[in-house]
């Protein structure tokens, strides 16, 4: 199970989780100017952080709101970031804070566990309560 793998990563690397809450204001302009589109700039910035920290981090948390705010190109950077984390053998947590009734929750699960935004974990918000 993936939770067992997370426990193993924590045991081996410690309990550091790298947050990729990639706000454009965090990325140096000189770095962004190297790329012709925002998707590539964000992804390459994230990739450098992942590469520099993967030996010391149990997992990486990617906050979807920063990517959604940039539209399709932001979501493509989000997708590529998740793919890179997972293809590097690391654990990806999608910080989505989704919370809804069961039918809608199933669609969130499909998008993030089987769909284009495949990840290892998602964060949820239980505010909506229980279905009856």
Domains of the chain by range and CATH?
2-124 (3.20.20.70)
Does residue 61 carry a catalytic annotation? no
* pLDDT tens per residue, range 38-82: 999 999 999 999 999 999 999 999 999 999 999 999 999 999 999
* Among candidate residues 85, 78, 63, the one with its CA nearest the CA of residue 19: 63
CA 30 to chain centre: 24
| Residue 86: predicted pLDDT | 98
Of 48, 97, 106, 110, which one is the catalytic site residue? 97
Q: Classify burial at 58, counting beta carbons within 10 Å of its beta carbon; exposed 0-12, middle 13-18, buried 19 or more.
A: buried
Helix (H, G, I), strand (E, B) or coil at 124: strand
Average pLDDT over residues 9-25: 95
Please give the model's pTM, rounded to 2 decimal places.
Answer: 0.89
Position with higher pLDDT, 107 vs 129? 107
Confidence of residue 31 (pLDDT cuts 50, 70, 90): confident
Tokens at 70, concatenated: 């940039």
């Amino acid at each position: 199970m993936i939770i067992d793998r997370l426990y193993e990563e924590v045991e081996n690397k410690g309990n550091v989780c790298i947050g990729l809450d990639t706000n454009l204001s965090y990325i140096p302009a000189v770095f962004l100017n190297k790329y012709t589109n925002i998707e590539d700039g964000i992804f390459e910035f994230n990739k450098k952080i992942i590469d520099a920290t993967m030996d010391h981090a149990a997992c990486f948390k990617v906050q979807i709101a920063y990517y959604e705010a940039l539209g399709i190109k932001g979501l493509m950077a989000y997708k590529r970031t998740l793919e890179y984390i997972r293809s590097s053998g690391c654990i990806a947590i999608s910080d989505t804070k989704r919370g809804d009734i069961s039918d809608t929750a199933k669609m969130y699960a499909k998008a993030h566990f089987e769909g284009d935004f495949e990840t290892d974990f998602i964060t949820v918000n239980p505010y909506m309560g229980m279905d009856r």
